[in-house]
Structure formats: structure tokens, C-alpha cells
A and B are shown apart, each in its own frame.
Chain A
Amino acid sequence: MKPRIGVYICHCGLNIANTVDVEAARDFASTLPNVVAARRYTYMCSDPGQALITNDIKELKLTHVVVASCSPRMHEPTFRATIQKAGLNPYVLEMANIREQCSWVHSDRKLATLKAMDLVASAVAKVAWLVPLQEREVNVSQAALIVGGGIAGMQAALDIADAGFQAYLVEKQPYLGGRAAQLYATFPTMERVSDLLAPLMKRVNEHPNIRVMTNADVQKVDGFVGNFRATIRERPTFVDATKCDACSKCIDACSVSMPDEFNAKLTTRRAIYRPTPDSPFVIDEQRCTYIQDHVCLTTSSPIFDRGGAACVTACSQNAIDFSQSEKMSEVNIGAIIVATGAATFDAANKPELGFGTYANVITSLQFERLAARPEGFGRPFGSVKDVIFIQCVGSRDQTTGNLYCSRICCMVNAKQAHIVKGKFPDARVTVFYADVRAFGKGHEEFYDAVRKQGVRYRRGYVSEVFKRDNRIVVRAEDTLMQKSVEVEADLVVLGIGLTPRAETDEIASLLGLPRSGDGFLLEIHPKLRPVETAVDGVFLAGTCQGPKDIVDTIAQARAAASSALAPLCRGKVRVESATAFVNEEVCAGCGLCVATCPYGAPALNPRTGKARVNAVLCKGCGACQAACPSKAIQVVQFTPRQIISEIAVLV
């Protein structure tokens, strides 16, 4: 049967009609082979526009449809639905993009019209070769994997679990809570972060639908939206939490010493340690000499003498167990939420600010740890009369490569200045800033209150910190006074920004996620799709996507959870219809397609030696088709015949 093609040229208001002579294009289209109807309309995507198409399909018995309008990314789904409504298979539609690729980028009306005609002719030539395709769906593994047990990951896991689905929460550290666990109080409400985290952690730990895996990491992920399979490794803690009575004698016995990351390196810890004040005891596998070198640093006992480790001897509960080994588990999940968090900027990369040189130059994270001590923020460095806060350390700064604003530091500085003033009302507290960004709910009001409290804001980035007569001196320009100033201080707090974690590469390559120029994980659209990634079924939550405060982190976590719940609730996902197929008569079984496919869709059939495509895995990208030397593997709707017919009318 001869194809009966309808061509519909859209004016897009004046977007197309201003540059393309739509009447001429329509006349031209009506002369093309197999075209039985050619029409134009102001807005083809409007209801009357779509009615033109459905009427023609019914009355003129169209078999194929070409819509010449905008990019298929914009309205291909619209017109597919239109022709389906009228009884056609949705895949016998071809879009000619005469807006983005023609009217918007050209100004010469005559030439633009000729180009539009070419694009229409090309689409008409191809559409005749399009074949009806079946829409396919597969069942979904109704569970989700959440990578990262910080505040974002915990909230997302709770939302998934509360909706009735299984959540696997994998955390690299031996404890839940992430960065938030290190913080003292929130801005602008001054709530204790521990008061926010404790109930969240309790709910996560007790939720029947959440399986928490701490001291664990995701080793491998394969599959696709709805049907991922993840391999998770849980590392041993070497301490049996059911026996341990938290007496800390093991810690006293251990001689290995290193900076305590949780305390922002203000203190040291042992190889056996309690990562947070409330977490179970663990042995740091990488640092314990008994595990690494087979000799306990304290007793010098070699490993064959099992009782020889000092911690083992010190433990009255027999809780230490060096025989523990890592545990691998495989889980089937339908969606993945990445909530791996961010690192803090290393202030040593701004050597002019004296961090690492002077003990009383500390980071804002170290301030939080000091303030979180039971005795509160006190006088760890002697008297606290003059305190200087420095904003934008490592952010908005080409010299560090971090061009972005870290969004939290202005309010962190304000909050900490408020804490200092609260503890030492007579202290002279100065914040050196270039811009104060107090854009969140209640932030400007908090900034007002902090200034009212007596915190002084001086406009100018600090350029240098040095020592004179045993006092710290901060050099800056007071830009509003147009004067170089030197201010003495007892304590300098650097408002450090957030940076992508060093491990971002690992998670990005594990899941195939792209990163933005700033190094953070990339959302698919910065405004409209802020939690989705380029990989279907993988969503982002929290600071792994970019710096944000707790409010925004929670919002994004809940958005990611709700996006992840869509396929889980529905129970089925639609898979790509335009997939690759193999002509076994032609296939030589060379395996190039197998090696080329990024999704693992083709495989060689061991019996016939020929390639065969798992259509569920295939994304229709066409890499196999380009690689196949004999054109035995082809993607439907993009076969050589279809593409050549499209090109042939143009040359």
C-alpha cells in the first residue's frame, strides 16, 4: 500500500512565520511524493491545530504524519499522542525542526524558506519508511538505594520507606548524620543540630522498611531505571556492638594517633575510636597497625598472638573481634538517590590567611566543633576580646578554581558571630565581607539582629593574616572608608566554602553521571528538573549537587524521593521502543557491537555465535550500528535506509 502522508506546517505565532514563508512551504509540501494533505496553522500544538491533524487522519486515511515546527524535544510527545488519538501508531510521526534549526537562527527570509522546504522534504522522505512500534513496559523492583546517610539521604530514605517501599541506606562512614552531625546550631533559628538529627536518626534506624548499612560503599551498579542491581560492601568494624559497654579502655590502650576528621582535626583520635559521641566503637582498618602490619603498635605483639593487641587485652567484654570480614550484598532496586554530600574547602590553599600557621586562625567548621563541646564555645585560645570572621574563603575565587558562591558561609559567619557575642558580650566581633547574601527565609532578619547585637561588618576581603608582637593582625582594605587597615585579633574564623568531594569521580563513574563545571554532580535542568540526572532513575539530593543549607537539602531530598517514588508506585516503567535489532543472516558474530554498547544490550548467542539484543537494556543510541562492519545490527527508526532516504533528497 502506498503511504498517505500529511504535512503540517506551524507558524509558531510569528516565531516561524516571520522568517519562513509558510504559505510557500505549504505549497511546496503539497507537491512532494505521497503527500495527500499539506496544511499550515498559527499554533499546530493548540487544540484546533491538533484537530486539523486528527481530522485528516480519519477523513483522508493518512498513514504517516510530518509536523514542521519546533524541536522534537519540545513537542514530539504532544504530536505522538495526537496521532495515537486518531488511531495511528505514535511512531509513524517525523518532526521537521524549522524553528530552532531554521527561523530562529536565520534572517534572510528567502533562504530560510528554502531551508524549511528542504527540512520538510527530508522529513517526508524519511517518514514513509517509518514502521509502527510497540510501546513496551517492564516491571519495577519496588525498592530504592540511597547513597549517603547524611541529612539528605536519611530524609529521602524515610520518604521512600514511609510510602511503603524498601529503602537501602548506604553510608561510607561508620555513623549516620553526615556533615550535619559535625554542626552545632542552625541559622537563623539557633536550634541545636543534634536536636534535629536525633529524631531523624532514630526513625531511620527503627523503620522496618529501611536497611541501614554504615561503614559501607556501593561497589557496582548495573541495570536501568526500574531494574537496577547494586553490589554493596559493608566493611567490618571489628567491634561487636552487642557486647561493647563503651568503657573506652580500648581507646586508652591504643597508641596509634591521627587527626580526628570528625572534630575537624582539632583533636586526635586512635585507631580504635568512637567516630561521634553517640556512635558505636570501630577500628579504623587503614590505620590499625595490627591489621595493616600485623603488629600492635602498643604491645609490639605480632598477629599470630591473637590476644596480643592492646585493645583486646583492655576490653573486659570480649567485644573486639579481628576475625570479622567484609560482607557483600546484592540488592535489586528501581531507583537510586545520590546524597553523597560535599567536602569543606581546605583553608591551607589560601596561605595568605595563615591557617595551619597560627593556632588561633580556625575554620568555621572547627568553630562548630568547639561550640558543640559540652562546655560550649569557650576560650580555647586564651582571651576572646577581638574576634574576626573572614567571608568567602575558597568561594567566588578564581585562585582556588571555585568560582561559585557557597551559599551557606554568610549565614554561618553571622550565626557564629552571634554565638561569640552571646558568650562574650564585650568581645569586639568584626565580619570582613564583600557582599552579604542573606537570601533565605528569615536570613536577612537574622543578619539585622546580629548587627543590632553589636557585630560589626566591615566591607573588604581580608588579604593577609600575620603576627606582630605576638598578636594576630588582619590586613584588609575597608573599602567603604577607602583605607588600608590592620586589625588585631585573638581569634580569626575563616568562613570556608563547600567543594565537591574527592570521591565524586568514583560515584560519577559508577553511575555514569555527568558533573557540572564546578565539579558537583549535574542535574538535568537547572530550573525545571533540579533533582534528575542524565541517567533515568538516578536522582540527586543535597550538597553533592551544589552547596546548600539544611532547608534546601531537605527540600531537595524530598523532591528526589518523590521523583524516585514515581516508578516504584507505578510498578512498571516504559522502555525505549526504538531499539536495535540484529539481522542474523548477515551477522558474522565479530562482537564489535558487544564491545561498543555502553549499556550491555547486545550479547553473542553461544549457540549460534550471532549477536542478539536485549531490548530492555537497549537505549537506541546507535553506537552498535555505527560499529557494525556489515550493518547487521540496526536501530529501528534509524536504519541506514531511513537515514539515507532523509539525506538523498537534500543532495
Chain B
Amino acid sequence: MIDTQAIVEQYGLTACIQCGKCTGGCPISPKSALNPRALIYQMLRGDEFELVARDELWDCTTCSTCGLRCPKGVKAVDLIIGLRGQWIESGKIPSTLRAPLTATLNQGNPLVLPREDRSLWADGLNVKPMAEGVEIAMFTCCENAYDPRVQPMPRALVNIFRAANVDFGTLGLDEQCCGSEIRRIGESGLFEYLRDDNIDKFKTTGVKKMVTTSPHCFNVYKNEYGTTGFAVEHYTQTVARLIDDGKLEFSKKFEATVTYQDPCFLGKQNGIYDEPRAILKAIPGVKFVDMDRSRERSMCCEGGGGRMWLEGTNAKVRLANDRIQQALETGANVLATACPFCFLTLSDAVIATGNEEKIKIIDILQIANQAL
């Protein structure tokens, strides 16, 4: 049983006016028992609260819409993460999370793959090790580093950087998970270990600027690492600026009608809406169309907050499937992403909905790389 009074104080829940804006905006609440407002109300009432009966806590994608829209500054997402943490502490970890968490501790990635394979994605690219001194540290998400379906993105970024004469490098085999999803699963101890270890590693290289391939890594470095000594950007910011400064030019056409999935960790949580669109619009041949639900009203792909390793309580309804439908309604034949999780969930959804012939999921990096 949990100490509801302590929770109320820790998350400032007395500010809540039970208006329901959190639940009304939660992408998961229509398909799950997850109700952030009711959860807060239960804490405030101080009723007995048994975690084990609340499987829906694992449904949250940590898209953070609840907290971002709350008129009273309450962060329901933080409460959910906190409750997951208590669950994890009790040792009753959902079975599909055990291997990713153990592998992150032992191998530095949740994909349960060996640490010495971290740089396989860059095979043959001769990426400079950061120890030699570079202007920009390129940070590759574990997904991008290990999952062959999203390995082309960091390879494309390497090409783009070279085309724009950017001096960059990676930590190579010293690179490891940023801990963003680990923290959201509720394993705060492991997150703190990764954070401290990563800060130390980057500090020794003296690098002043980091560019990440994933919005999740970007967000955690920017907002949850505290003082790091280096600035962090998501690649969409960097590439958009390279285009703006005339350092990156496209010589080929990418003929397609393209729409774009705002990653929650880039858009809603960090307000980066314009840069990804600016890149797409700068590519010759691209006809850009927005979906109705875009920017602040964008819909989560259901891949964040540990959901890559958790099916959730209702696997029949998948937000990514709806999203494909919405993308098709725009007349687009390409749905561009800027996040490896979005890429993977949406790619699965294209197959699940049988739309392989109609629409393709392609990351902005791949589109830009093809147009170089």
C-alpha cells in the first residue's frame, strides 16, 4: 500500500481542481482505465490504494499532454512515473521490462544487445571518435544504434553533417543509454546512475554541444540532466539551421506528398514544431501537408514512456493505426518522422492496417539524405 499523503505533497496535488483537462487530453484514456484526474482524486481522498490492481499505470506513454495543459500546474505524468517507481521498488516488475532494465545496467542499452556492438550502425563510415576533439557530439539513440530498421537515420545524419562540413564525432563504444525511458518506467536509481556516468564521459571530452537523433534523448539531456556543461539540440534544429545558413543544399528531388508526425518529446514537450517542417519544405519535390491534428494538437504514437516494451492493457486499439488513417486523409504518400519510436510504431501500423502500398514511413533524415 502506498502513502497517499506523501504522494499528495510530493506532486503538489492539492492544486488540482478536478477539471478533467488532463484526462480529456490523454490519448490513452479513451482506450484504457487510465484516468489521470481520478488518480489524483484517489490520492487526495487518501483511500487505500493497491498498485498491483492498477495495470493501467503501465499504459501511460508519458506524452505529458496532461501536465502541459493543466491549468493549475499539476503534472499527472510525474505522479504516474512516481507510482511506477514504487511498483518497481516492490520488485513486482512487469515481465517484459526485466530484460530491458537488466540489459541497460549491464550492456548500456534496453535492446538486450552487447555493448561492443554499439557502433555497428556506423560500419564503414569512419566516424571520428570524440576523444580527438570535435565541435559537435553526435548522440545516437539505442534504437538507432541497434535496430536495423532505424539504423539508416544516424547513417543519414553522418552524410548530412559531412555534406555541410560539420566537425562531429561520437563516443563510440563508450556511448550508452540516456535513461529517458528508464526514468519513465520508474527505475529512477538506474536513471541516476546513467545520468552521472554520461555527464562524466562527456565532460572528459570537453565537448560543448550535443546533437541527438531522438527527441527522447534530447529532452532528457535538456530538461532532466541538470547542469551538463554542454548544449543539446535535436537533429531537426541543427539541420534546419544548416539549411538556413546556406551550408546544406539539396541537389536532388524527393517527389512525394509528405505529412509529418510531431513527436511528443519534440513538439508538445519542447515546442519544436517549425524546424522539422522547415527542413521538409526546403527539400525540392516535397509537397508538404499537415494533418488536422498537428503541432499542439498532435496525437501520440504510443511508443514512449516504456511502451516500446509494454503492450498495455488494450492492444486491440492502437493510436498509431488511427494516425495512419489521419495521414492518409491528407493525401500524403509519405509520413515523415523525427523520432525512432514514432518510426517503429507507425511502420508497424502501416503493416497492421494493410496500407503498405499507400503510405511509407520515412524519417526526415532519410528524406534529406536522399535529396543531397
Partner of A466, one of B19, B20, B29, B292: B292
Over the window 17-54 of chain B, the binary record of Cβ atoms lying under 8 Å from chain A Cβ atoms (1 yes, 0 no) is 11111111110011000010110000000000000000
CB distance from A565 to the nearest CB of B (A): 42
A464 at the interface (CB under 8 A from B): yes
By beta carbon, the residue of chain B nearest A395 is B71
B296 at the interface (CB under 8 A from A): yes
Q: Are B29 and A477 in contact, with the CB atoms below 8 A?
A: yes
Q: Are B293 and A461 in contact, with the CB atoms below 8 A?
A: no
Of A34-42, A326-334, A396-404, the one touching chain B: A396-404
A351 at the interface (CB under 8 A from B): yes
By beta carbon, the residue of chain B nearest A476 is B24
B68 at the interface (CB under 8 A from A): yes
With contacts A398-B73, A434-B19, A476-B20 known, is A463 near B25, CB below 8 A? yes
Over the window 225-259 of chain B, the binary record of Cβ atoms lying under 8 Å from chain A Cβ atoms (1 yes, 0 no) is 00000000000000000000000000000000000
A interface residue count range (under 10 / 10 to 19 / 20 to 34 / 35 or more): 20 to 34
With contacts A434-B17, A479-B20 known, is A399 near B293, CB below 8 A? no
Residues from chain B with Cβ under 8 Å of A435 in the complex: 17
CB distance from B289 to the nearest CB of A (A): 14
B208 at the interface (CB under 8 A from A): no
Q: Are B29 and A467 in contact, with the CB atoms below 8 A?
A: no
B295 at the interface (CB under 8 A from A): yes
Q: Are B35 and A460 in contact, with the CB atoms below 8 A?
A: no
With contacts A434-B17, A466-B292 known, is A484 near B71, CB below 8 A? no
Q: Are A463 and B69 in contact, with the CB atoms below 8 A?
A: yes
Residues from chain A with Cβ under 8 Å of B68 in the complex: 399
With contacts A475-B25, A479-B37 known, is A461 near B71, CB below 8 A? yes
A189 at the interface (CB under 8 A from B): no
CB distance from A432 to the nearest CB of B (A): 9
Residues from chain B with Cβ under 8 Å of A354 in the complex: 297
B interface residue count range (under 10 / 10 to 19 / 20 to 34 / 35 or more): 20 to 34
By beta carbon, the residue of chain B nearest A467 is B292
Residues from chain A with Cβ under 8 Å of B296 in the complex: 351-352
Tell me the A411-435 residues at the B interface (CB within 8 Å).
434-435
Q: Are B20 and A460 in contact, with the CB atoms below 8 A?
A: yes
Residues from chain A with Cβ under 8 Å of B115 in the complex: none
B72 at the interface (CB under 8 A from A): yes
B70 at the interface (CB under 8 A from A): yes
A392 at the interface (CB under 8 A from B): yes
With contacts A398-B70, A398-B71, A479-B19 known, is A463 near B24, CB below 8 A? yes
A119 at the interface (CB under 8 A from B): no
**Consensus secondary structure, chain B interface:** helix
Residues from chain B with Cβ under 8 Å of A207 in the complex: none
Residues from chain A with Cβ under 8 Å of B292 in the complex: 466-468
A509 at the interface (CB under 8 A from B): no
Q: Are A464 and B297 in contact, with the CB atoms below 8 A?
A: yes
Residues from chain B with Cβ under 8 Å of A482 in the complex: 35, 38
Residues from chain B with Cβ under 8 Å of A106 in the complex: none
By beta carbon, the residue of chain A nearest B322 is A468
CB distance from A477 to the nearest CB of B (A): 3
A392 to B30, CA, bound (A): 24
Residues from chain A with Cβ under 8 Å of B22 in the complex: 463, 477
Residues from chain B with Cβ under 8 Å of A564 in the complex: none
With contacts A399-B71, A479-B37 known, is A461 near B297, CB below 8 A? no
Over the window 467-484 of chain A, the binary record of Cβ atoms lying under 8 Å from chain B Cβ atoms (1 yes, 0 no) is 110000001111100101
With contacts A434-B17, A484-B26 known, is A466 near B297, CB below 8 A? yes
Q: Are B69 and A399 in contact, with the CB atoms below 8 A?
A: yes
Partner of A396, one of B23, B30, B71: B71
Q: Are A351 and B24 in contact, with the CB atoms below 8 A?
A: no
Residues from chain B with Cβ under 8 Å of A434 in the complex: 17-20
Q: Are A461 and B19 in contact, with the CB atoms below 8 A?
A: yes
CB distance from B19 to the nearest CB of A (A): 4
A464 to B21, CA, bound (A): 9
With contacts A399-B71, A434-B19 known, is A477 near B37, CB below 8 A? yes
Partner of A479, one of B18, B70, B293: B18
Tell me the A440-496 residues at the B interface (CB within 8 Å).
459-468, 475-479, 482, 484, 486
CB distance from A404 to the nearest CB of B (A): 12
Q: Are B71 and A459 in contact, with the CB atoms below 8 A?
A: no
Over the window 133-160 of chain B, the binary record of Cβ atoms lying under 8 Å from chain A Cβ atoms (1 yes, 0 no) is 0000000000000000000000000000
Residues from chain A with Cβ under 8 Å of B295 in the complex: 351
A67 to B69, CA, bound (A): 56
A5 to B22, CA, bound (A): 68
Q: Which 6 A-B pairs have the closest CB atoms?
A: A463-B24, A463-B25, A477-B20, A460-B20, A477-B23, A434-B19
A residues in contact (CB < 8 Å) with B: 351-352, 354, 392, 396-399, 434-435, 459-468, 475-479, 482, 484, 486
B residues in contact (CB < 8 Å) with A: 17-26, 29-30, 35, 37-38, 65, 68-73, 292-293, 295-297
Given contacts A397-B71, A464-B25, 12 further A-B contacts (CB under 8 A): A354-B297, A399-B70, A460-B20, A460-B21, A460-B23, A461-B21, A463-B24, A463-B65, A464-B297, A466-B297, A476-B24, A482-B35
